Structure 1
Amino acid sequence: MKKLSFIALFFVLLVSACSGTDVDQADQLEEPENSETETTEDEAASEETPSEESEEEAEPAEEEPSEETPVEEEPPTEEEPADKEEDHTESDTTEDPEEEEEPEESAEPEEDTVESASNDSEDTEASGSSAGLKAYMPKGPMTKTFTQDEDYQVVHEVVDVNDRFVQQIVTFGDMVTLQILEFTEGRISVVHQESNPEDTSSQLDSFEAHETIDVLVDATGSSAKFQILDEAQTTSTPYGEFENVFVVQRMSGSDVTSMYHYAPEYGLIREKVEDKGDNGYTMTSELTEIQE
């Protein structure tokens, strides 16, 4: 009996030892599964964590525009000066035409001045002198005697001269004529004429030209009746030789041609008239004497 009980105890111990070993092995076998499970759970947690973080990061990325909203509000503040600048520019542009209109209004007299100056220059170029035909006015009172066709005498008595007019008395035989000539840059004209005057004294202090009776010389080029033949001719007369003589030809109708010679400071020094009509003739009058 004791032997059987001992055997039974040994068997029980053996069984318990085996069962403990199995339990340990079972525990060892189960632990890897738990570790793998924990690993997968950790990985899942780690995978879920980045997604949550990414979502959290994505949300600030979407919220950044809301934080930068003041930046978007700044352009209106920048556009307002631009509008002001545009208004300022428009005001400048509206003021510019007013400023430009004044020069245009003031430009009109300038154009008139230029035109008058150009006319004066044309007269000057035509006459060959800086003073135009005024350079050929007699320099003062003098008596000029002309011989006409070697048989007759014509006397031009220059009574008075000013800056514009020349008063002279022309005597041909019994005929006495008072003339006032007007000298401009481009013309020599008869503006007053009186036959057999009672008073031959100077009238230039109060004289005013009211009409043009006859144009003796026109150097402006505006009349086809006149042709400038020379502007600096040397002309010989019985009295003497004159330089820088202005020579002009005038047509009277289709048959009569007159040629005038004007010397600086002496006026007319020679005249030739030719009529080619049926009763044609030629007349030449030359300066033979000057008394100053």
Structure 2
Amino acid sequence: MVDILTVGHVTVDFIASPSFEGFKKSVGGPPTYASIAASNLRSKVAVLSRVGGDFPAEYLKLLTRWKVDLSHLKRCADAKTTKFLIRYMDGQRELRLIDLAPPIEVTEDILRLDRKVIHVSPVASEVSYQVFRRLCMRGSLVSLDPQGYLRSFDEHGLVSLVELKDKSILTGVEVLKTSSEEASALTGFMDPLKAVSKLTSLGVEVVIVTLGGEGAFIGFGGKTYFIPSFKVEEVVDPTGAGDAFVGAFLSEYVKDGDAIWSACVGSASASFIVEGIGVSRLKGCREVYERAESILEGVVKKR
């Protein structure tokens, strides 16, 4: 039994930011950040992913040190690992796909795996709609970050946002996490509050729309709340903050179903991620919960 199974490509990221010179190389992808953030809060986590023969052994060791179950991470010797060039400038992010690993497939052992939560978060449509539906047939809580379903890549790998091709996959999703830009692509609303209302009207139980360094909106039960961010001294690298948010959220939410507190824990975990490269600045449970308590004091009901 695992608490959370995260599905999507583990990546290698090359990151450029005004906070440092040149490019920094880091292990990335939703399974990395979401799983480590949840494991940090004592959840049992596993990933379903594929990497290439070029995937650094040191990254496997890092994931193992964080107690991430890698038994369902397949290393394809003749393939490339999914890689992104991520450039931050003038408050914007440019995302470019360099290499793409093989698509993720469903195996019988995965279908038999007992899990409380399945979190699907593709980065480049590596989880097909058919695979998504098969993975979600079991009785576990279904969480989706549709980022990879909303991306189009030009001939140079440059990412732009597009509409979701098959909105029927939202049926049965209990937790949906998305950024404000992606929420706009999903719903057509630039206003994230309207996007939250639209997505909850489609039957999603809990909708989280992250707002970068400003915080997040969370909608459930006909109500929407603003979850503030924890203000850090310096944002070094925001890569993976949203994935850490949802990983920590799910870790708490599956315990007691308190969506507001879980979102505060998610925001706290994300605040540690942005203070360094990768997961280098992530602290233990006590420090995360201390920040979450501070964040909870600033929660505001919006509607």
Q: Which has the higher strand share?
A: 1
Whose relative contact order is higher, 1 or 2, with alpha carbons under 8 Å and at least 6 apart?
2
**Does the pair score TM above 0.5?**
no
TM-score of the superposition, structure 1-length normalised?
A: 0.23
Instruction: Report which of the two structures shows the higher radius of gyration computed on alpha carbons.
Output: 1
- What TM-score does the superposition give when structure 2 sets the normalisation length? 0.23
